[in-house]
Amino acid sequence: MSKNQNIIFTNGEYYHIYNRGVDKRIIFLDDEDFWKFFDCLRDLNNETYYEERLDALGLSVHSCKERTSFQFRELGSFIHGQEKLVDVISYSLNPNHFHLIVKQLKDKGVSNFMHRVGTSYTNYFNKKYERSGVLFQGVFKKIHIDNEKYLLWLLGYINGNIEIHGLSKTEDYNWSSYRAIYKACKEGTSLHPLSNLSVLSGLDIVLSQFFNVDEFEEFVKMVISESRTNKSMKNYLLE
C-alpha cells in the first residue's frame, strides 16, 4: 500500500480516505450532523452546483420551504443521473472521524469530491455551532489500495469500525455502509438496485469477494475480532 504524500490519484484505482476532527474533536454531535455529512457524500459526488440541485426541485436559493419526501426522491433521481466523480464502496462515520473506500472515476475525482464534501460540511458545522476556522485535522489522509487482499481487509475494517472502537454493535449502527452492503450481498444488486438516495455505488467489487451474505457477515466479525486483539493489525488502526 502507498500512503499519503506521494499518491497520484488514478482513474480505476481504489483508495482509503480518512480524517478526524482537529484536536480530535467531535465532528458529529447529533443525528442532524450525521445526516448532513451523509447527504454531502451523496449529493456532491458530481460536478453540479447548489443552484442546479435546487433548480431540479423547483426551488430557489432563498426558498425556506421544508423539503418534501417527493422532492427528496426527485433530488435522488437528479443526482443519480449525474456523472460521478468516484464510486463510494464503503463508509463509516464515527463521532470524531470518518473512513471511506472510494474508486476514482474521473481525473482529480477524489480530490474534487473530498474538497466539496469537506468545505460544505465545515460551513454547515461552523454556522450551526457558531464557530469559525478549520474543522478537520489538515488535508484528508489517503492510502492507495493496491491489492485485493488489502481491499478485502478494509471492507471488513471500515464496515466494522464502530464496533472495533467499542461504541456500538456493527449491525445496530446507522452511520456505516454495513447494512446496505449486507442487503446487497443478500439480494444481489443486479436484481435489486440500490436506491437513488444511496451513497454507495460500484458494489460489484464487494459482491465478488463473498459467496453469500453469511460470508460477508462472518468476515466482518473476524476483522473486528482481529483488529481488537491482534497487535500485528495495529497498522490498520489509523486513529
For residue 166, name the pLDDT band (cuts at 50, 70, 90).
very high
> Domain for residue 34, yes or no?
yes
> Domain for residue 88, yes or no?
yes
- Rounded Cα distance between 128 and 150, Å, is 38
> Domain for residue 11, yes or no?
yes
CATH code for the domain in which residue 170 is found: 3.30.70.1290
- Residue 177 is predicted with a pLDDT of 96
> Domain for residue 94, yes or no?
yes
If one counts the domains in the chain, the total is 1
> Domain for residue 120, yes or no?
yes
Q: Are the C-beta atoms of 180 and 198 separated by less than 8 Å?
A: yes
CA–chain centroid gap for 132, Å, is 25
* DSSP for 129-190, written as a single string: TT--S--BSSSPEEEEE-SHHHHHHHHHHHHTHHHHTTSS-GGG-SSBSHHHHHHHHHH-TT
What's the whole-number average pLDDT of the chain?
Answer: 87
CA–chain centroid gap for 122, Å, is 16
> Domain for residue 111, yes or no?
yes
pLDDT in tens, 52-66: 777 777 766 555 556
pLDDT in tens, 71-96: 667 777 787 888 999 999 999 999 99
- Residue 186 is predicted with a pLDDT of 85
Strand, coil or helix: what is 126?
helix
Q: If we measure between CA atoms, which residue out of 239, 233, 218 comes closest to residue 171?
A: 218
| pTM of the predicted protein model | 0.89
Give yes or no for residue 2 having a pLDDT over 60.
no
Grid cell digits, residue 101: 473506500
> Domain for residue 56, yes or no?
no
For residue 198, name the pLDDT band (cuts at 50, 70, 90).
confident
Range of the domain at 185: 2-47+83-236
For residue 143, name the pLDDT band (cuts at 50, 70, 90).
very high
> What is the mean pLDDT of the segment spanning 101-116?
97
> Domain for residue 114, yes or no?
yes
